[in-house]
Each structure stands twice: as structure tokens, then as C-alpha cells.
Amino acid sequence: MVFDIDMIKKVYAALPGKVEATRKMLGRPLTLAEKILYAHLYAPTTTPYERGKSYVEFAPDRVAMQDATAQMALLQFMTCGRDKVAVPSTVHCDHLIQAKVGATQDLATAIDTNKEVYDFLSSISDKYGIGFWKPGAGIIHQVVLENYAFPGGMMIGTDSHTPNAGGLGMVAIGVGGADAVDVMAGLPWELKMPKLIGVKLTGKMSGWTSAKDIILKVAGILTVKGGTGAIVEYFGEGADSFSATGKGTICNMGAEIGATCSLFAYDTKMADYLKVTGRTEVAALADEVKEHLRPDAEVYADPTKYYDQVIEINLDELEPYVNGPFTPDLAWPISKFAQAVKENNWPEKLDVALIGSCTNSSYEDISRSASLAQQAIDKQLDMKSEYTITPGSEVVRYTIERDGLLNTFDQVGGVVLANACGPCIGQWARHIDDPNRKNSIITSFNRNFAKRNDGYASTHAFVASPEIVTALAIAGDLTFNPLTDKLKNKNGEEVMLDEPVGYELPPNGFEAEDAGYQAPAEDGSGVQVIVSPTSERLQLLAPFSAWEGTDLKGLKLLIKANGKCTTDHISMAGPWLKYRGHLDNISNNMLIGAINAFNDKSDTVKNSITGEYGAVPATMRDYKAHGFGAVVVGDENYGEGSSREHAAMEPRHLGVRAILVKSFARIHETNLKKQGMLGLTFANKEDYDLIQEDDTIDIDGLTTFAPGKQLTVVLHHKDGSTNEFPVNHTYNEQQIEWFKAGGALNVIRAEAAK
């Protein structure tokens, strides 16, 4: 048993009392999110928190980290003077495995090339009492769902898709590494009390439609920023009608609408999943408190009273969706997709179709997809596009191999990749004739930002359910609609694909020879953690310097970014993942994907000292060498996507002093604050237009920096004129302390030294 049953028992023992007290305090029925949040306060409260306004201190039950973010999280944790983590925590080796040939060989290569990092993560886990999931064990969110997620629990994870665990009724939130350090150090973890969006599901899915289509539709409705600062709670008879893993898919992709997390209520589907994954005891415990693991009945009766916004979806009418390209909220029902492809001139030919990943590799997903692959065989159809399968975990992989499903994929030419992120995060050595050729791929993953999968700007990536991905792979054509269209088989006959069928859970249970877990030492005090001073991949952290106590004058404009600027644009993944433990080296990718508003180019900005155009990181290093700080200006939803705190630490390390944007994505804004950076938003969004290429910038008001009080930005233009305008911030007292100290870690360290 890898999970901590005593911790779960404690949570459930306290739950009824806490829920009752909260109901009394709020004086009304409760949503599920409220029950779980108030049951996880760091210290009890006698007054309600205001949603969307109050900062709240929480005490999550668990922490999960993946290898690409754990390095920085644990390098920070090392400096806090603790002997052991305060709550159960795990590390998962999934992001650093590159997909090239196939599972076995790729895994062996990864173990070899990443040895130094894996050794570091394994030994530091051993030392501080952290469970370690070896490379090959699977993708963090799948492994968490199989082993750790439990209804009514609360966890944080250093990955934006941590909310996947909402499929088992857990409030699971993606954070940066510095937030994980708080919880592992036993300190309160702070979050603004989320708003609540209710999604009422009526009816029941059938045929080609699957859970993925619910979230693809929701993404179309809410857009990539519509969930910002909110928990999305799904309810209604439709919600109870489908599998826990389907619920997980929906919660996983809540990250794509910026939601803090997403949540389903405890039901028999969750109990079934707990049982089949070896947690009958957890299911029994949850059953005892089940009324506290669902919203109060009154909430169902009149949801608009309890949620800030309510959306209703009728599953009887829901069509399969395909979203993309380049953004996950461009949602097309399959009946309209072919036309959209034609009108927009997206490449119709499908080059590669990829299923699996943390989003969609349940037994249900795989078995339904395999049923289509089997039809291709039976109906004499070829698989026209390349086709890959990424199992989410070794447990899934072993089980689908045992049950013959991998064999079916093999027969249609499918390539099984390692149980890892691989092509989802640019860890894909794709074979393509001409990287500049406009081409289309479709995945059952969650993100489709430009360059994300293979690094090529020419690739148009779409996301859909694994069933639709498989059907389109058979057709090799994006304009194929499996619900209505026929295909020509090898004998020249016209055939149609039947609806996919599969199993929600494996009829013969899950199994694995070695799931890939390594328990930490009982007493880790003797364990040595080695970081070589000459390493290219790991670097001990030096504290950032404290604020100088004055307003910031004469800052350079580093870049005015235009349009989408996700964390992939700020700190690209793929080939750069190897430097995730080395702040100085990874800083060489800072903002190289951002588009300069003055010339529409990436990684080409004017150095105002030399007047020459150069790469963003090199320009910033030059400013730093000359003693200048700088400002980065950005557009809407800046920092959307990943939880990677490198996107905040790199500018901090290279001497950027403020990020000034129209709006932020939640995790990134917090990451900036944690690292002692100023994250500011235009009070009037049009002021973005005032910023000129040769500006120097002052930030005034810092000596009286206070919650709710605007700061002032002064632009000094090249022609001698100036503009002055107010800017907003969301810093509370504590976060202002972080800014003054030069970062949250400096505050923790100072307190530990007392």
C-alpha cells in the first residue's frame, strides 16, 4: 500500500464536524467545493471568506511533483532547514523521457541521459521522506489517480494538470514549486478563495461522444481565461452517469480554461474505481461520510443561488468535438469541423494521430480506441496516418498488454510510446520530411499551443477524444466525420465505422509486475544529496537579493509581447527540459517564443544600449551587466498554461523587475509573487498602446506599497515626452513582505533562522 490510510482516516473523522460548522457559519446549504475548502483551513475561522476576494490559508493533505518541476521545488526545499516533509509527498519521473523509437528503447535512453537528475531526485526523496516513482512508472496525474487521490481530500501539485484528481472528488490544485515548499515545510498555503462555476450535466452520453467532449465544449464556452480564479463543480444526473476516469479527463483539462481546479461529487463510479485500484478500504471510509462528499441537496435544486455562474449541458445532445489549432478553446463540433478545416485552409491530410497521455489513457479510453482499431482490421481498412499510444502508467500499460489491446494497436501499425509525457511536451523526436511544411496532427492530449508537441511552428495541432483521434487516424483526413461519412477499404468497398465500444474498468482488474515505486528511507538523515558544482543540469540556488527600498527608476523595456504569451512562450519545454534544475542555463530560453509587438518577430528585441536587435536572453544579460533592471510588457492571460516557476524565476534571475500585462493566469501570477517579482496589470488596458520601443520606465509608489493601492508607471519616451498611468496589483500584506525580502523563500529562511 503506497497511500497513507491514517491520513485519510483523520480527514474523514474530522469532516462531518467541519462541514456542520461551516454550514452554520455560512447559514446556508453548501456546495462540495465549499465543504472541502473549509475542511482544509490551516486555522479555523469564525467569519466566512469572500469568494474572489479574501486570501485564505489552507492545509492540503498531500503534495505531488513531477521531475521537470520537482528539481526546482526541491532545490528550494533544501534551503529551508527542514528534516522531513510535513505531509505525504511524491515525485514522479515522467517529463524527461523523449519519445523517439518506442517504449523500451526510449526509456533506456532516458535513464541513461537523465541519470544525474534521476539520482538527485531519488536521493533527495529518500532523504526528506518523499515517495519516488521511477521513470517508466507513469505520468504524475495518472499515478496520483490510481494511488493517492481520494474524495474530499485536498492536494497541491507542481503541475497545472494536478486537478485531474478531481475525477475522484479531490480538490487538487496546480502550483509552482515555491508553493509546494510551503506545504512540505508545514506552513500554510495561501490561495484567494475561489469563485464557483457550476456545470449542470443532464442526460447521458452515447455512441461516439465521450467525457473529453464535455470539456472541449466547456472550453469553447468559457475560453482559456473563463475559469480563472474559479473552481468548476460538475453536478446533475449526467455527472453521475459516467466513469471516474472520464471525470478525471474533464478535471484535467479544466487547466485549459484557467480554472483553479474542477470537481465531481463522490458517487458509485468513484467507489468502483477506488476498489479496482486496490483501495476498497478508502471506498468504505468514503461511504461512511458520503453525504459530506456531495453538495447539499438544496444546491441541486437551485444552483444559481450557490454558484457564481451556471452552465448547463445536455449530454443526450452532445456531439464529439475537435478543438484547435494553436489554442484549446477553439471548439468545433464534429459536424462543423470539416467545413472549418476547408475554410481556414488547415492541412486536410492528417500526418500523425496520438492517443493517451495524462488526459486520456484510462482503460475505457484505450479499450474504446482499440475497438476502432479492431474495426479497421475487420473491415479491411488501413490506418492512413501515423498512430501512437502513450499509456498513462505502467499499471495501465501492463493491463492493456495482458488484455490484448496493445496487440490490436500493433496490428494496425500503432507505436506504443513510454509511459511518460513524451510528445505532449515537445519530448518528441518526430520524423518529418520538411519541418516547414504546413501539416496537421491530432492528439487526445490537452494543450495544442504552437510548437508544443514537436517544436515546429508549421504544425497545426488539434485535440479530441481518443476515439475521434483513432477514427481520424484510420481516415488519415481531418475532414472525415465518422458519424456520417464512409471510407473506401482495400477492396474498394465503402464502409462505415461503427460506434466505439469498450469497458469502463478492466473486467479482470488492473495488474503490473512492477508499478515503479520506491519508498523513502525511514530515517533519511544519513542520505547524501549530491549536486556537482560543474553540473550543466543542476545548480544550487543562491537567494535573490532584497528590494533596495526605493522606487524603481530608469528600467529598460525588455520586450512588449503581443498576443498569446503562454509559459511555453516564456520558458519553452522540449529541448529545454533538461535544464530545469539549473537556473542560469535554463534562463537562456527566457521569452524566446514571445512575439515582439514592434516587429512581430520572436526572440528579436532592440537592445537600447547598443541600438542593435538581438535575442531576448542575451539582451537582458547585457542590461544586467550594465546595471539596468527591465520591464516585460504583455497582453491578456499572460503566463497561461504550465505551472513551471522557471517562467518567473528566469526573469527574476536575469534582472527583470516587473511584468506589466493586461491580465495574468493564476499560477503564473503567484509564481511571480513568490519569487519577489512585481506582477502588475494595466488599470486601463489601452495604456498598453502607450508603450514604445525605446522607452525607459519608472515604477513609483513602492515606498508606500500596500494592498489595494495602485502603483504608478512613468514612461520616458525617446523624444523626451512622458506618459504616466496607474497600474493595479493583487499583493496582500504577506506578498508585499515577499517582494521586500526578495522572495518568499527568503522570508521562510529568515523565520527558520530565528
**94 has catalytic annotation:** yes
Site string for ligand MIC, 442-471 (x = CB under 6 A): -----x------------------------
**62 has catalytic annotation:** no
* Catalytic residue (one of 447, 537, 580, 657): 447
Q: Which three cell numbers stand for residue 294?
A: 456531495
Binding test (CB under 6 A) with ligand MIC, winner from 40, 368, 644, 674: 644
* Among ligand MIC, ligand SF4, none, residue 357 binds (CB under 5-8 Å by kind): ligand SF4
**447 has catalytic annotation:** yes
Q: Binding of ligand MIC at residue 642 (CB under 6 A)?
A: yes
For the CA atoms of 596, 599, 605, 608, the dihedral, rounded to the nearest 10 degrees, stands at -120
Q: Which three cell numbers stand for residue 364?
A: 475505457
**Binding residues for ligand MIC, total number by CB under 6 A:** 14
How many beta carbons lie within 10 A of that of residue 241, not counting itself?
Answer: 16
Give the full edge-to-edge strand order of the sheet including 195-202.
261-264, 230-235, 195-202, 309-314
| Beta-strand runs (E) in 229-270 | 230-235, 261-264
**551 has catalytic annotation:** no
Long-range Cβ contacts of 310-313 (<8 Å, 24+ apart): 310/197, 310/198, 310/199, 310/200, 311/197, 311/198, 311/199, 311/200, 311/218, 311/221, 311/222, 312/199, 312/200, 312/201, 312/202, 313/199, 313/200, 313/201, 313/202, 313/214, 313/217, 313/218, 313/238
**Distance in Å, CB of 305 to ligand SF4, minimum:** 35
Q: Binding of ligand MIC at residue 653 (CB under 6 A)?
A: no
Footprint on residues 590-629 left by ligand MIC (CB under 6 A): none
**Distance in Å, CB of 151 to ligand SF4, minimum:** 22
**Distance in Å, CB of 584 to ligand MIC, minimum:** 18
Q: Can you tell me whether residue 731 is helix, strand or coil? A: coil
Q: Which residues contact 652 (CB under 8 A, 6 or more apart)?
A: 544, 675, 676, 677, 743
- Contact set with ligand SF4 (CB under 6 A): 95, 139-141, 159, 161, 357-358, 421, 424-425, 445-446
Shorter beta-carbon distance to ligand MIC: residue 31 or 642: 642
* Among ligand SF4, ligand MIC, none, residue 31 binds (CB under 5-8 Å by kind): none
* Among ligand MIC, ligand SF4, none, residue 468 binds (CB under 5-8 Å by kind): none
**Which residue's C-alpha cell is 470539416?**
338
The amino acid present at 207, given as its one-letter code, is G
* Among ligand SF4, ligand MIC, none, residue 139 binds (CB under 5-8 Å by kind): ligand SF4
* Among ligand MIC, ligand SF4, none, residue 644 binds (CB under 5-8 Å by kind): ligand MIC
Contact 192, 54 (CB under 8 A): yes
**687 has catalytic annotation:** no
Q: Binding of ligand MIC at residue 121 (CB under 6 A)?
A: no
The amino acid present at 706, given as its one-letter code, is A
For residue 378, the number of C-alpha atoms closer than 13 Å in the C-beta half-sphere is 10
Shorter beta-carbon distance to ligand SF4: residue 426 or 482: 426
Footprint on residues 165-184 left by ligand MIC (CB under 6 A): 174
Q: Can you tell me whether residue 621 is helix, strand or coil? A: helix
By the 10 Å C-beta count (0-12 exposed, 13-18 middle, 19+ buried), 378 is classed as: exposed
Task: Name the one range near ligand MIC by CB under 6 A: 201-209, 287-295, 326-334, 640-648.
Answer: 640-648
SS (H, E, C) 365-382: HHHHHHHHHHHHHHCCCC
Site string for ligand MIC, 418-437 (x = CB under 6 A): -------x------------
Phi-psi region of 128 (alpha: psi -120 to 50; beta: other; left: phi over 0): alpha
The DSSP code for 704 is G
d(CA 548, CA 674): 17
> Could you give the residue ranges of the DSSP H alpha helices within 27-66?
32-39
Shorter beta-carbon distance to ligand SF4: residue 99 or 424: 424
Site string for ligand MIC, 136-165 (x = CB under 6 A): -----------------------xxx----
* Among ligand SF4, ligand MIC, none, residue 69 binds (CB under 5-8 Å by kind): ligand MIC
Shorter beta-carbon distance to ligand SF4: residue 452 or 652: 452
Footprint on residues 68-97 left by ligand MIC (CB under 6 A): 68-69, 95
Contact 703, 549 (CB under 8 A): yes
Shorter beta-carbon distance to ligand SF4: residue 107 or 421: 421
* Catalytic residue (one of 371, 393, 642, 663): 642
Distances (CA, A) of 68 to 421, 579, 581: 11, 9, 8
Contact 430, 352 (CB under 8 A): yes
**657 has catalytic annotation:** no
* Among ligand SF4, ligand MIC, none, residue 68 binds (CB under 5-8 Å by kind): ligand MIC
**Distance in Å, CB of 93 to ligand MIC, minimum:** 12
Shorter beta-carbon distance to ligand MIC: residue 442 or 597: 442
* Catalytic residue (one of 67, 159, 329, 477): 159
Contact 138, 92 (CB under 8 A): yes
Shorter beta-carbon distance to ligand SF4: residue 68 or 230: 68
* Catalytic residue (one of 40, 62, 82, 95): 95
**Distance in Å, CB of 66 to ligand SF4, minimum:** 6
Shorter beta-carbon distance to ligand SF4: residue 140 or 647: 140
**Distance in Å, CB of 296 to ligand SF4, minimum:** 33
Q: 622: closest CA among 638, 607, 606? A: 607
* Catalytic residue (one of 40, 569, 644, 729): 644
* Among ligand SF4, ligand MIC, none, residue 71 binds (CB under 5-8 Å by kind): none
Give the distance between the most distant pair of CA atoms in the chain: 80
Residues taking part in catalysis: 94-95, 159, 447, 642, 644
Enumerate binding residues for ligand MIC (CB under 6 A). Answer: 68-69, 95, 159-161, 174, 425, 447, 573, 641-644
